[in-house]
Amino acid sequence: MAFDLIQAALLLPVIGGSIYGALSVHTAAKFFKAESTPESYLPPITVLKPIYGLDKGLEQNLLSLCRQDYPDYQIVLSVQRTDEPALPLLRRLAAEFPDRVTLVIKPSEPVVNGKVQNLVNALTAARHDVLIISDSDVRLASDYLRTMAAPLRDSDVGYVCSLYRAIAADRWFEKLELLTFNTDFVPSLVFSHVNQIAPFCIGASVAFRKSDLERTGGMAALGEYLVEDYELGRRLIGLGKRMVLLPHTVDILADYPTFTRWWNHQLYWDQNTRAANPVGFALTIFTRAIPFALLFAITRNFDSIGMDVLALALVIRLGTAAWISSAYLNDREGLRALWLLPLRDILALMSWCTAFLRRSFEWRGHRFGLTKDGRIVAREAAMPLTDTDLSSNPAAKSL
């Protein structure tokens, strides 16, 4: 009897995950079908671009911002080290685009949230009220600024986020990251938004007003939070504002030189999600069809019923992921990597479990403590930066 109950319990996430996959396709169709051309609104914009290290494709990422089809905008490139390896490139771009690029260099060793510290430095040079935060690993289409600014014509809109997909995954574990973004993160955001399940804010690509930010307490007030983008969105909504999620998609380059670096980022990602929405994060256990279908098949010694359940879970998971990737994200790279999706889902379950136990995280070569409510506590220990740390993306990417 107990063994039968275990098997029945294992089937719950299999059924839940399969239903969720089908519903994700439905909500994606509804979301992208509603796409419309927004009314033109072209306010002056300041784009805050925090930089740390020579990300893969950094020059092309920055050039995609410098060459926007937009009449009046400023780019603030901000770094926290005088020996920043990206500085020669940043100085060259500042010289090539003197009317657009402002370079801020201010030593600021991370004490709490290092990205927030970098953004605080960048804000000292911001000339305009409309702000966009764009992470260094983001590559943009030429109409990005026009698209992000348009919803802010409505004064009731507090912030605007765009979707993003991962690209340029060269190593097998980078392909796992690509699948995490494109087959898990994006569908979950769309599902949550369409069904109004929980608010969120996507810190890699978000537009808002500096005047609204100041009303919430300013950028520095976000520094003690692990999930600073979620806290920013929560505070803007607290002003009576609303969020707009655009179907416009930007690209994020997958850049992880080692499996360990990717794994640390996966853990950090899950810690972000747990801190922002602990109940929702816990409930995602019921959407993880493949790992539990595999466990179900193991408990049945891979008999015909066990294999049928596993095969059906695989077909639904791979089929729905392929549909969303091809129909809505134009993700041919992800389609070629779909054979890794079962492995990615199994590792994701392991990361999910670990995120409940770990009370620290790594950021920019430093380790910090983490409280139960997602606040950053004093640094536990500083670890020396390696050449790998300086030449690649850090383990921590914002949500």
Q: Output the pLDDT for position 54.
A: 92
Cα gap 321→6, rounded to integer Å: 28
CA dist list (Å): 324 to 24, 207, 333 = 8, 26, 13
**pTM of the entire structure?**
0.89
Q: DSSP E strands: which ranges in the chain? A: 45-50, 73-79, 101-105, 130-134, 138-139, 157-167, 205-209, 242-253, 360-363, 366-370, 376-382
Q: Is the pLDDT of residue 177 over 70?
A: yes
Provide the mean pLDDT of the chain: 90
Give me the residues paired with residue 159 across strands. 208, 243
Q: Which residue has the higher pLDDT, 398 or 72?
A: 72
Q: Which residues pair with 366 in a beta bridge?
A: 363, 382
The confidence score (pLDDT) of residue 372 equals 67
- How far is C-alpha 134 from the chain's CA centre? 11
How large a percentage of the chain has pLDDT more than 90? 78
pLDDT in tens, 122-139: 999 999 999 999 999 999
Can you give the C-alpha Rg of the chain in angstroms?
21
Written as one letter, the residue type at 277 is N
pLDDT at 103 over 80: yes
- At 341, which helix (H) or strand (E)? helix 341-357
pLDDT at 363: 61
- Tell me what pLDDT residue 111 has: 73
Tokens found for residue 38: 């927004």
Residue 379 has pLDDT above 70, yes or no: no
pLDDT beyond 70 at 50: yes
Rounded to whole angstroms, the Cα distance separating 222 from 228 reads 6
Q: Which two tokens stand for residue 319?
A: 């089929």
Taken in order of first residue, the domains within the chain and their CATH numbers are 2-31+276-391 (no CATH), 36-258 (3.90.550.10)
CA atoms of 389 and 264, how far apart (whole Å): 13
